[in-house]
Structure 1
Amino acid sequence: MKIRSMTLSVAALATVTALVAAAPAPASPPSKPSKPRTAAVHGAAQVHFAYAPKGDVIRFSVDAEAAPYTRPFTIKGTSLKGAPLDAKGKVTVYHYVTETGKAGISEAEVDCLVTGDGVATLTAVVTKSNTGSKGTRIGISVQDGRHGAPDRLGFSWGIANADPGHDPILARVGTCMAPAPFTTVTEGGFKVASAPLPQWQDPWL
């Protein structure tokens, strides 16, 4: 009887196992849609500029974040709700000149930002300055260094953006336009959050 009972138990176990194997797997809970990443640049740093006199100190601070279609404007009498690369934030530029012992300081409001693979290009319009540049749009590029490489930064005055017939320092800059990041960060650093281009929207109001 004991042998018969054991045989029946083994057979029953095999049947249960087969039924469990044949049953459909429980449905996994639906995953929450991931929030689209927002393009951004944050940080502050001192840079080495090859053409600056020895002893000069040049620093930049950048806090910029994408804000698509948030800067309405009018062109040829037509109102538009903004552009896909609209952005918000602040840029501060500090340049201590050894020769004069004075420092030039400018603050600017970010109006455009585009990123890609650890690199960002942004522009900002100067709102405060002791250098006479108020109202000028400036262009900044930032490279977030990888694998131990230093961060880098470029700016639209000094060696680039010569515009015939205009002040070479205050030459016109279009939105999101800046040269390659040609200076090296020597102190501090930047963090670039890269994101795909925002979805296109009809810009007309």
Structure 2
Amino acid sequence: MSRTTSPRTRRYPRALAVGAALLMTAGAAGVAVASGDDAASTSHAGERAEPREAAALTGSAKMYRKTTEDVTFTFDAHLAAKNNGDPSKATGTFRFVHLDKPGGEGGWAKGRIDCLMTGGKVATATGIITDTNLKEIKGGRVGFTVHDQGKKDRVGYSWAAVGRPDGTKKLPKCTSSAPHEKVRQGTGDFEVVPWKVPYPTD
């Protein structure tokens, strides 16, 4: 089994560490917000341009490790233009995998996105685990933070500051840690679409 996703929790046995990598759903950090470009897109030339989606987080990459561990995060999260004022209406999927080595033993989980907020090139999202090889975490909420830096991205997750898994299902929506982890060079890339913050007009 692999160590926990967080490099600072190496004191736990590998058998427990896989659970730690997937179970820990505590910890919180705020997320900054900023307005993005008012870009519009169209699928065919000549058609009327449609407003772009309000926010998005997409892509997949492996985390940097000095060990043989193979840790991958994948996101396909979107907030539709019509839901710009309610990040909790975001939709999409997430998946993360933690193996002791490529093709080796470990744990995995995937689920549905239930909140997405982005500010500039930083995104914070949460989702509910719908399928996993660790039965005890199914149905729990986990959070993620991504800093899109163009091939030098960073990733955080809601369990980063917790020493051991606690199995909580009370994590608030759009809550995660600072993006402290580095993406392994050449393994992937993330893309963040800035949220168009609905500032008051009067």
SS in 2 for 1:48: coil
Aligned mates of 1:60, 1:160 — CA distance in 2: 18
Match of 1:189 in 2: 189
Shift of 1:49: 5.5
* Residues 35, 46 of structure 1: alpha-carbon distance in 2 compared, 3 angstrom cutoff: same
Matches within 5 A, 1:26-45: 35-45=51-61
C-alpha contact (below 8 Å) 1:44/1:61 kept by paired residues = yes
Q: TM-score, with normalisation over the residues of structure 1?
A: 0.62
Runs of 4+ in 1 over 3 A off after TM superposition: 67-70
Match of 1:63 in 2: 76
Tell me the number of residue pairs that the alignment of Structure 1 and Structure 2 aligns.
Answer: 145
Matches within 5 A, 1:9-158: 35-48=51-64, 54-67=67-80, 84-85=86-87, 86-98=89-101, 101-132=104-135, 133-146=137-150, 150-157=152-159
C-alpha contact (below 8 Å) 2:153/2:182 kept by paired residues = yes
The higher-RCO structure (CA 8 Å, 6+ apart) is: 2
Shift of 1:173: 1.4
RMSD: 2.7
SS in 2 for 1:139: strand
Aligned mates of 2:71, 2:193 — CA distance in 1: 24
Q: In structure 2, what residue type is equivalent to 1:56? A: E
1:36-56 C-alpha deviation (Å, 9 max, x unpaired): 542001100001268xxx211
Q: TM-score, with normalisation over the residues of structure 2?
A: 0.63
Structure (1 or 2) with the greater strand fraction = 1
Q: 1:174 aligns with which of 161, 164, 172?
A: 172
Aligned mates of 2:99, 2:154 — CA distance in 1: 19
Identify unmatched segments of 5+ residues in structure 2. Answer: 1-47
